[in-house]
Structure formats: C-alpha cells, structure tokens
Structure 1
Amino acid sequence: MKKSRLFGATAPLLLTAGTLAAAEKLYTYAFKRINYVPDASDAMQKYATDYYRHVDWVASQRPAVWHLDTADDQHLAALWLEHPHSKQAVIIGHGYKGTGITMSNYAHMFYDLGFSVLLPDDRGHGQSDGTYISFGWLDRLDYLKWLQKMVHYLGTDCELLLFGTSMGGATVSLVAGEPTLPQQVKAIVEDCGYTSLDDELSYLIHELFHLPKRPLVPLASFINYRRLGFFISAVDVEAALHRNQRPLLVIHGQKDVYVPTWMGQQNFAASAGPKALWLVPNAIHAESYWVDPQAYRDHIAKFIQPYFSAMHASV
C-alpha cells in the first residue's frame, strides 16, 4: 500500500523529468549546429554530378569573403561573387544545416542573369559563429546588415533581390516583413519555405516520430527562449509576409512532404504585394530547380524582369 502511494506521488515527477529530457533531446537534434553538411537524400543523389559542377564553378571564380560582426558579438561570413559592371545583386539564403556554397547552382544561375551574388553562412552554419540555429529569426537582422553592406559597396542606385530555399526561403520572407528593408530591394523569390517554425516543428515531429505537438514543442520553445532569447512562435513567416509590399514569387514542389506544399500556398496568400505562385509538378523538397533548371531560371527571370531596370542580355 505504501509502495503504491509512493509510486502515485512520484509518477508525475518521473513523467516530467522524462518529458523534459525528451524536449532537450528534440531541441538538440533540431537546433544544435553541426560542423558538416549532411548528405543529400537518396532521392537527390542523382543530381550530385551537376551539383558539384556548380560548386567547382563558384570556386573557380575565386569569390571574396565578406565578414560581418553583429551587436551580440557573432562573427559571420559570406562569399561575394562579383559580376563585372553590374548594379544588380542577390543575397541567397541557404537551407537547414547547409552553407552558402551549397547554393552554388543558384549562384551560377543568378550570375548568368547578370547579378552579383552574396552567399552567407547563417548563424550556426559553416564559417559563421553560433552554437544554435535560429531558423531565420536572428538571421533576418543579419541579412538586413548584409543588404546594407551590399548597398554601401555597390552604391545607392543598386537593385537587390532576396532569394532562398527551404529555411533560406523562410529567412528572406522574414526579411521582407522588416520595416527597415532597404528601398533597393526590388523583389523576393522564396522556394519551399515554411509558414512558421511552430507549424514546421509540429508537422515534423508528427510525421517523423508520430508524436503530438504538446508538450514537446512548447518545452523546446522555452529552452530556445533561454538560449537564443525568443520563443518559437516568433518565427512567423506568414505574419511577416502580411507586412510585405514587394513583389514575391513563391515556388514549391507539388510532392514536397518535408515542408508540405500547403505551406507555400499559405505564404503566397499572405503576401500583400504583387505576387505569383509556381507549384512545380513532381518536385519533392528543394527539387524544383533540379527537375528542369532552364524552366526554373526562365520562370524567375520572367517574374523579376519588370522590377529591375535592365536585365542581363541572356534572359
């Protein structure tokens, strides 16, 4: 009888301890930086040869390395690939646990369209500082500083484009909602970005681990607040896009089950400015470019051309 009462009294404590441990494990799994780029999925391995061809091309251009020091003492790095005599430039946001150089195919594409290219390593990635990944929230402020640096370098008459895929797509969308976005930013293109970090984490723990949102996501949110200073609910891409007046192109694969297609549709619906939505048939997550690189380039060029004073002759 006494043992029964003792178990009844301690069970909630054991459950709480176990739940907290599970939340910490989830947080570490999702937010902790790793110092390598994970292998591509089996479905994406077929593009490896073309991918490395673009990486080699970027390296052959001998890009400069730009640096940025933040107000919270983070040292950030980015590759700068300068197009000769161009006043147009794009900042390219990379995906989760990627780096700037992993976006080489997009860098090559935009360079051929006449853009100089900035490839940042976000916080918690690559050559930039950071123990944890902020999923675009702190990065949005860093991107504003990168944009200011680009304006200072190119001149106030430059024209800038925001582009990103997956987490990078969410990041540039968050940037688009900032009231201090430089007037030189003419358009945004986001590919397969999530609607919010809360939506994405809740979706993934259900799909990958068959677990409910509560209590793990709220607990992970509290852990993140203690370590990075914000709750997960702050990373609200839809809310940012409600404040966006710039032209926005949303691209999303119709077979995306990592960041599900409905998220792209909701991001498109949220944006307040001129906009277009391209749902790419048969494309899984972050595959839209690889399905047909020429069609991808043409689609982007056609959308952004009206907002830039002069596009490269190869458009």
Structure 2
Amino acid sequence: MGSTCTQAARRCCNTACASRRASSGVATVVMTAHTPSATRASEGELPGMEFGSAAGLALVVGSDEACILAIIFIAYSAYGYCARATFYHNSCCPGTAGRKVHSGRPPGAWVVGHNGAHDHGPTPPRSARTQPSQRATNRMNAWAALLVPPAAWGLGWLGLRWLRRELAPPRLEHPGAVAPLTDLQWVSVPTANGKHLAAQWLPGPAGRGVVILQHGWGGNGSQLRPAALALHRRGWSVLLPDARNHGRSDPDGHSSLPRFAEDLHACLDWLPGQLGEPAQPVVLMGHSLGAAAALLAGSQRSDVAAIVSVSAFAHPEQVMRRWLAEYRIPFWPLGWLVNRYIERVIGQRFDDIAPVSRIAHIQAPVLLVHGQDDTVVPLECAQRLQASAPHASLLVRAGRHDGFDEEDALYAQVSDWLDRNVPAAPPACAPRPQP
C-alpha cells in the first residue's frame, strides 16, 4: 500500500508540473471574458479540457490557481489510492477475526474476540472470515474516494464559471446624438495593456478647465451627458470616457476598481496633448464605481484640481458582502473565499484601494454628493468618507443611487462649488508680433 501511495504522489506531482508549464503565460480569466476563445471557455467549450486534470483547469483559472488546485488534487488522489488499496487488501486478505492458529492445537482451532478465549469448533467457511460490516464500510470509503475528487473539481469549476458570469459588466449601448451636443467628438484614448478607450470630447472655451466624467459599473459615458452639458454651459470642457469592457471601448480580461482608475490615469495623460499651453485645471467627477476610481486616481496624482464623488461606496468588502447577501451566500467561509479570490485576481488588497483609506491622501478639494434614499450604497458610506477626510465636503440631496430629484439645481450647486474651489487657468500670453 505504501508503494501505491508513492506512485500516486509521483503521478500527481507530474500532473502539477505539467499544468504549471501548460499555464505559463496564460492570462487569468476571471469575472468576465471578452476574447473569442475566452468567451467559448465561459460557455463550456473548452478544447482539451479534462475534468479532474490540473492541466486542463489551468486553462481556465491561470497558473497560480492551478498550483493551488493541483495540491488539492494530490491530496484527494493520494487518499483515493490509499482507500482503494485498503479495500482490495481487506477483500482479499481477511483480518485477524477468523485467522487460523498454528500453535500445536487441533486443526480446527480458531482465535475469536480479544479476551484470549478459543473456540475449538469446526473451521468456519471462507465467507465468514471477513466481517460484513467492515467490508461494507471499506466499500463506501472506496466509492467516496473515487467520487469526491471529480465532484470537488466539478463544483469548483462551476462556481468559478458562475462567478465570472455574474460579475461580468453588461455592455450598454450609446444613444444617438442629441441637439445640445451636436459638437461632441468621439476620440480614442490609449490605456493600459495596449487597449484604447472610446471617449466623447466636448471642448469649451479655453482657460476654464476640463472635467473628466467617469460612469459606474455596467454603464457608459452617455449616462453622464446631462451633467456634462450643464458643466459645458458654465465654460468647462468635458471628457466622457467609456471604461474598458464598457460602451465602445476595447475589451480586456476583467473589470475592477484599479482598472477603472488606470483608465482615468490614461485620460489625464492624454489631455495635455489636446489642451496645449498653458496647463488648465482638471477635475475628476465620477458616479458609483467611477467615483471610487476618481478618489483612487486622485490620491495617486498631484495634477488634479478637484474631485466630485457621486454615490461612492466606502469599502469594497462591504459592497461584496451586500452582493453576497442578495444571493444568500454565507460570508463565512464562501463569501470570504470569494473576496480573497477577487483580491488575487485584481492584484490589490481591498484595504489598500478602499475609498475610505485613500481619501485622506488626496490633496485637492473633494465634494461628496450622495442621495438621501440611496439603497444600493447607503448614506452611511458618504458619512464615513467625510469622517476620514476633514477637507471633504458632503452634499446630501433627495434622490437615489442612480438619480436625484431636481437635478438642474444639483448641477448648479456642483458648478458653484467648482467655481469657488478651482480657479481658472491664467490667460495665455499674446504672441509677439513678427518684425
């Protein structure tokens, strides 16, 4: 039995090594897949996928996760080999009960029980030499060892597939151009991973500044057109980008708070080539996840003049807890494992990117706008953000997460706050006349 277990461990280690080699360079597919091959994988069309093989699963979850799952596979396989060897051993070689004693006693002597008593009756038949209850137990253990590993692999794969599907942002189509925004231009902004963002650019009078408006999860830039139009009337240039995997922007492996912030960094780097000299103040404005991304990006730069956060959450862990509660998934241990898995995929700990942790590092003025009747992100989140940054102002308005009552009045209040906290750029010097 020991040699059998050793052979099992060697086979599983070879499988784990093969999976590591096969999955090197394979991008981690999680939450959402947008390439044709990844889309086929999310739909179950996995060429070469062998359930119960660490190498096959590596094509789905990536090299790091494959190594962890290969270790689990080794443990399950070793247990299965040991249980099967025990079953065959007990089936072919009965135990001490009914074992014949060769100690000079009569040929029919048998040892029974544990108290040393002997029975010199006739030799029992071979079927009685093995206890039926012990054989049934060994048989059930062997079947469990055979069925548990593939069942665990199957449930794990289905869980990851469901998680990717549920956390994939939908693509919202853009409406057609409206009369007040006929001068709006579609531009392409290069971002991380060699991708490009589709953005709507509406330049205003030179010198006032630029507002970058970032939409939330599953939205697009056109959702913020009313706010952009109100700001444009006050002299601001406006840029409305679609985040990756949203709107008309390029697809990418997954969407997350850090990647939304990366797209804002890309927009900030793209603007100087459009504005020229002198430099104009730039304001970040976002809604929901876009607001959290604005706070994260604003805490990492010094060239942001102000930040307007609309309906931002305080901590991603709380957002995930509410999402898990909607599906009646217990936080411990499943919910906790899901959150840790997402942290590994995005490459950041929730505590390090949480708005409640980053807002104190922002040097620019911050305005927190929140709906009084918001049931998606409670008002308590905005209050926690303000408590973490004394320089932040809180504006509570009647409304919900995706809309406010009397929005025109709200736009006027936000514009007035920007006029008080963001000075206009100095006028450009007139060029010298040529002699």
For the criterion TM > 0.5, the same-fold answer is yes
Amino acid at match of 1:295: A
Question: Judging changes above 3 Å, is the alpha-carbon distance between structure 1 residues 14 and 137 closer, same or farther for their aligned structure 2 residues?
Answer: same
Quote the Cα distance in structure 1 between the aligned partners of 2:173 and 2:379. Answer: 25
Matches within 5 A, 1:79-228: 79-154=200-275, 155-178=277-300, 180-182=301-303, 185-206=304-325, 208-221=326-339, 224=342, 228=346
SS in 2 for 1:72: helix
Quote the Cα distance in structure 1 between the aligned partners of 2:284 and 2:369. Answer: 14
Alignment check: 8 A CA contact 1:66 1:77 kept: yes
User: Aligned-pair distance for 1:164?
Assistant: 0.8
Alignment check: 8 A CA contact 2:260 2:290 kept: no
Aligned to 2:417: 303
Alignment check: 8 A CA contact 1:191 1:286 kept: no
Aligned to 1:277: 394
Aligned to 2:29: none
Alignment check: 8 A CA contact 2:211 2:284 kept: yes
Alignment check: 8 A CA contact 1:89 1:118 kept: yes
Quote the Cα distance in structure 1 between the aligned partners of 2:333 and 2:251. Answer: 27
TM-score, reference length from structure 2 = 0.59
Given the alignment, which residue of 360, 365, 369 partners 1:242? 360
User: Aligned-pair distance for 1:149?
Assistant: 2.1
Given the alignment, which residue of 169, 172, 180 partners 1:36? 172
User: Aligned-pair distance for 1:279?
Assistant: 2.0
Q: Please, which moves more after superposition, 18-27 or 77-86? A: 18-27
Larger Rg computed on CA atoms? 2
Question: Judging changes above 3 Å, is the alpha-carbon distance between structure 1 residues 142 and 111 closer, same or farther for their aligned structure 2 residues?
Answer: same
SS in 1 for 2:330: coil
Question: Judging changes above 3 Å, is the alpha-carbon distance between structure 1 residues 175 and 166 closer, same or farther for their aligned structure 2 residues?
Answer: same
Amino acid at match of 2:163: L
Alignment check: 8 A CA contact 1:135 1:171 kept: no
Alignment check: 8 A CA contact 1:79 1:118 kept: yes
Alignment check: 8 A CA contact 1:250 1:278 kept: yes
Question: Judging changes above 3 Å, is the alpha-carbon distance between structure 1 residues 14 and 34 closer, same or farther for their aligned structure 2 residues?
Answer: same
User: Aligned-pair distance for 1:295?
Assistant: 2.2
Question: Judging changes above 3 Å, is the alpha-carbon distance between structure 1 residues 34 and 293 closer, same or farther for their aligned structure 2 residues?
Answer: closer
User: Aligned-pair distance for 1:219?
Assistant: 4.3
| Identity across the alignment (%) | 23
Aligned to 2:403: 287
Alignment check: 8 A CA contact 1:77 1:120 kept: yes
Question: Judging changes above 3 Å, is the alpha-carbon distance between structure 1 residues 263 and 57 closer, same or farther for their aligned structure 2 residues?
Answer: farther
Q: Deviations over 1:154-181 (max 9, x none)?
A: 2343111111111111111111111x34
Question: Judging changes above 3 Å, is the alpha-carbon distance between structure 1 residues 223 and 256 closer, same or farther for their aligned structure 2 residues?
Answer: same
Question: Judging changes above 3 Å, is the alpha-carbon distance between structure 1 residues 105 and 67 closer, same or farther for their aligned structure 2 residues?
Answer: same
Matches within 5 A, 1:13-32: 14=151, 17-18=154-155, 21-30=158-167, 32=168
Quote the Cα distance in structure 2 between the aligned partners of 1:269 and 1:135. Answer: 25
Aligned to 2:54: none
Aligned to 1:46: none
Quote the Cα distance in structure 2 between the aligned partners of 1:12 and 1:191. Answer: 47
Amino acid at match of 1:175: A
Greater strand content: 1
Quote the Cα distance in structure 2 between the aligned partners of 1:7 and 1:259. Answer: 48
Quote the Cα distance in structure 2 between the aligned partners of 1:286 and 1:82. Answer: 26
TM-score, reference length from structure 1 = 0.79
Aligned to 2:141: 5
Count of residue pairs the alignment pairs up = 287
Quote the Cα distance in structure 2 between the aligned partners of 1:16 and 1:258. Answer: 34
SS in 1 for 2:241: strand
User: Aligned-pair distance for 1:129?
Assistant: 1.5
Matched, 1:78 2:199: yes
User: Aligned-pair distance for 1:227?
Assistant: 5.5
User: Aligned-pair distance for 1:72?
Assistant: 1.6
